[in-house]
Structure 1
Amino acid sequence: MNHFQGSCLCDSVRYELTGELQKFFLCHCQRCRKDTGSAHAANLFVKPVSFHWLSGADLVKTYHHPDSRHVKSFCQNCGSAVPTVIDNVMVLLPGGSLDSDLPHKPDANIFIDSQANWSKNSGDLPSFAHLPE
């Protein structure tokens, strides 16, 4: 059985999950780009029965975008994205909040018609282990 742990940047919010990951998508929609400030969101989906808060659940604030299914939860102390429990049916888990290594790569890129033009074909960019001089 898989066991994963995660936290926010200030380590006030901590969680764990046991069991299987349902899906792992890189979402390029405009809402995910805006709420991450990046080219895409890395969203994992898990069943609520496998998820529980270890600490800081009272610090989690959730934003529901009007007239949509888009939600984002974050730590009120540091602003880091943390999991969102959706109607006790599914948990949306930001991949970057995991402290544990994942056993597999994402299942798919989604909403690629909304992909930021500056992030297309970025695989040929130079790579650095640290901040370049």
Structure 2
Amino acid sequence: MRFRIKGELASVQVCHCAQCRHAQGTPFATNIPVSTSAFLLDAGEALLKGFESTPGKERVFCGHCGSPLFSRRADLPDVVRIRAGLINEPLDVRPAWHFFTASKANWWRIDDDLPNYPEGYPGHR
């Protein structure tokens, strides 16, 4: 699997919802929203597998190794949320906020100064 992203990256978003925790097997997911026109898949398209985790939300993973790659929502068709840990190059962007922290893992302490959104994220519907 190989991809490129054209242009500048948005900030990393840290999601603590139970669905992301379960899908990633970690206390949170780190995502970077990317325009679909800026996301270029160079290799591995045949390996992409999708799973509709909730109505209108698809999680895409590698059908060979099972690694989570990105998610997309039907109500935001021009955006994919790339898993930040997949990017090998050094990132100039940093996390912007934590969201869905009301459902975070009780054993994980958030001890930074980032904004914290218990029930969603900025602009969440």
TM-score, L = length of structure 1: 0.74
**1:97-132 residue CA offsets vs partner (Å, 9 max, x unmatched):** 111121021111110101101112578xxxxxxxxx
Pairwise CA distance, 1:42: 0.3
- Conserved? CA contact 1:48–1:85, under 8 Å: no
Point out the structure with max Rg over C-alpha: 1
- Deviations for 1:15-58, whole angstroms, at most 9, x for unmatched residues? 00111223421000000000000000001101111111010011
Three-state SS of the structure 1 residue aligned to 2:33 is strand
1:100 is aligned to: 89
The unaligned stretches of length 5 or more in structure 2 are 113-125
Aligned length: 110
- 1:30 is matched with 18
* Contact persistence 1:24–1:43 (CA under 8 A): yes
TM-score between both structures, scaled by the size of structure 2: 0.78
RMSD: 1.9
CA distance in 2, matches of 1:106, 1:70: 23
SS at match of 1:119: coil
Identity of matched residues, %: 28
User: Larger strand proportion, structure 1 or 2?
Assistant: 2
Secondary structure of the 1:35 match is: helix
Paired position in structure 2 for 1:79 = 66
Q: Where does residue 3 of structure 1 map in the other structure? A: none
Unaligned runs of 5+ in 1: 1-12, 124-133
